[in-house]
Amino acid sequence: MARDYIASPPPRLFPNMTALADEFPFADERALRVAHRTDVYVRVIVNGHPLPQLLAVMEASQRTAVVAFPASYLRADSTNVIELHSQDEAAFIVIHVICHFRQES
């Protein structure tokens, strides 16, 4: 099931994602339970700074989540890294990310 989902996009448009399909050859019972979980809680880490609260990605909100963090966590150059780690290693896929940076005046 997971393999089919990961392999379904056109490989020429999503080569990195479809290349991972063979990492999911079999669906064991635990993987199926995790895949059908309705809500996922994610720890966000910005350049080594973990945010104090888990980010709730809820089925009731169409799995849309918004996170904000202090601009001081960002580096001036282009080496910023934002890590996402799910609680209990629940599976999740990030489809779209929109970053909006606002400078206070």
CB 39 within 8 A of CB 56: yes
Q: Is 71 exposed, middle or buried (0-12, 13-18, 19+ CB in 10 A)?
A: exposed
Report domain extents, the chain: 1-36, 38-105
Instruction: Give me 59's structure tokens.
Output: 């089925």
pTM: 0.56
What is the gyration radius of the CA atoms in the chain, in angstroms? Answer: 16
Q: Could you give the CA distance from residue 17 to residue 6 in angstroms, rounded to a whole number?
A: 6
pLDDT greater than 50 at residue 17: yes
Query: Quick one: CA torsion of 39, 45, 50, 56, rounded to 10 degrees?
Result: -20
Which residue type, as a one-letter code, is found at position 82? I
pLDDT in tens, 27-50: 444 554 455 556 788 899 999 999
